[in-house]
Structure 1
Amino acid sequence: MNLVESLRAHRLLAIIRGTDPTAALRTVLALAEEGIEAVEVSLTTKDATSVIAQARAELGPKALVGAGTVRTAADAARAVDAGASFLVTPALVDGLQSGDGPDVPVLMGALTPSEIEGALARGACAVKLFPGSLGGPGYLRALRDPFPEVPFVPVGGVDAAAARAYLALGATAVGVGSPLVGDAADGGDLGELRARVAVFRAATAAEEAP
């Protein structure tokens, strides 16, 4: 499984944070039914590792169900044990590519040029540009000059309009949490979730990245 190729093809990473593990699992499955290929379950979600394990069991071994808010090597280990197919960090985290376990791709959080270099040095397959809202699409444009080959996935405050702008400027994909998921992972209406999915799928497919 190549996470970057999948993100480049589908251009949308859904991010789930919730207080209700049953609702969080329903949300993962609903997103998959609507064609969202990559879903991140934040470890701040109640019983997150159980949600990941159940989702992988339901969706099969090729499903891209990852763990987010991975802040330590211990977080990574329990996520991988639960079956996470990729890891997402909010910042630079050491010890995730120790060679002692399975080769699980890491989308590592970074903001500044120095942090981006640090993420790459730590073995990140792509850089989660976070918080994306701090600099917006214009900041991604500036970063693309010195880092033309780096796969960037902006996360944080990405609505449908921002998603279009980031992708038009060459983002590999965008990561979207509450603007897409809303309150579904807390027990909210899945019909409304499906409607938001349609909006974001249209937005991410609207323009081809250069």
Structure 2
Amino acid sequence: MNLLDSLRTHRLMAIVRGPDPEATLASVLTLADTGIALIEVSLTGADALGTIRQARASLGANFGLGAGTVLSTDEAQRAADAGASFLVTPALAPSIAEAGRLGLPVLAGALTPSEVVQAGTSGATAVKLFPASIGGPAYLGALRDPFPRTAFVPVGGVDAESARAYLDRGAVAVGVGSPLLGDAVRGGDLGALRDRAAEFLAEVSSS
């Protein structure tokens, strides 16, 4: 997949991490049905690889389904085998180079200017600014001056209000976890998840 084009087009990536594999899968499928086109399933969730396999089978080969919190080369390989079409890391890690070897785009975690440079030289498709809440939209704005061509995706503490602020400061997209998922990954209300997804989609489309 062309991850960068998808980020620029859709401007929102859902981050799904849950303790209940069945509820996690239901959340992924609900988000996709609501219109969210990029979904990351974190490997720190219960049976995350199984969730990716099942979601891929349901959503088809072309859906933007990725694996998150991918740190090692082994995790990168297993995520690819499960059907992930992109990888996400929380930091600079061996999985970035492995993603390149596997031919998968990677959203690499970085926070400082030095880490942003290293992410780019390591082959990252885009930079996951994490945890974005430490500096907020103003910090992203400061980074945009020395890195005007870097594709930033703020992640960590992004809610519907701050999503618009990050996009206004030049982010290509935002990654959203618990403010979007709520209790759905623990078996909560999928109808409420649909409502929150619609709210986030409206925010990013208006930015």
Alpha carbons of structure 1 residues 97 and 195: separation in structure 2 relative to 1, 3 Å: same
Partner-residue secondary structure (3-state), 2:120: helix
Partner-residue secondary structure (3-state), 2:13: strand
- 1:16-54 CA distance string (max 9 Å, x none): 010111111111110010000000000011000010011
> What code does the residue aligned with 1:150 have?
T
- Provide the identity percentage: 61
Matched residue, 1:138: 138
Q: Within 1, Cα distance between the matches of 2:20 and 2:82?
A: 18
Question: How many angstroms does 1:97 deviate by?
Answer: 2.8
* Residue 25 in structure 1 maps to residue 25 in structure 2: yes
Matched residue, 2:16: 16
Contact 1:17 1:41 in 2 (8 A): yes
Contact 2:132 2:154 in 1 (8 A): yes
Matched residue, 1:87: 87
Partner-residue secondary structure (3-state), 1:96: helix
Question: How many angstroms does 1:138 deviate by?
Answer: 0.1
Contact 2:76 2:98 in 1 (8 A): no
Q: Within 1, Cα distance between the matches of 2:73 and 2:142?
A: 32
* Residue 57 in structure 1 maps to residue 57 in structure 2: yes
Alpha carbons of structure 1 residues 192 and 8: separation in structure 2 relative to 1, 3 Å: same
Matched ranges for 1:16-165 at <5 A: 16-98=16-98, 101-165=101-165
Q: Within 2, Cα distance between the matches of 1:181 and 1:99?
A: 27
Report the RMSD for the aligned CA atoms in angstroms.
1.2
Question: How many angstroms does 1:169 deviate by?
Answer: 1.0
What TM-score, normalized by structure 2, do the two folds share?
0.97
Q: Which has the higher helix share?
A: 2
Aligned pair count reads 207
- Runs of 4+ aligned residues of structure 1 deviating over 6 Å after TM superposition are none
Question: How many angstroms does 1:101 deviate by?
Answer: 4.8
Matched residue, 1:188: 188
- 1:118-148 CA distance string (max 9 Å, x none): 1111110000000000000000000000000
Partner-residue secondary structure (3-state), 2:8: helix
Matched residue, 1:179: 179
Question: How many angstroms does 1:75 deviate by?
Answer: 1.2
Q: Within 2, Cα distance between the matches of 1:70 and 1:152?
A: 18
Alpha carbons of structure 1 residues 98 and 158: separation in structure 2 relative to 1, 3 Å: closer
- 1:142-178 CA distance string (max 9 Å, x none): 0000000000000000011100000011100000000
Structure 1: 5+ residue runs without aligned partners? none
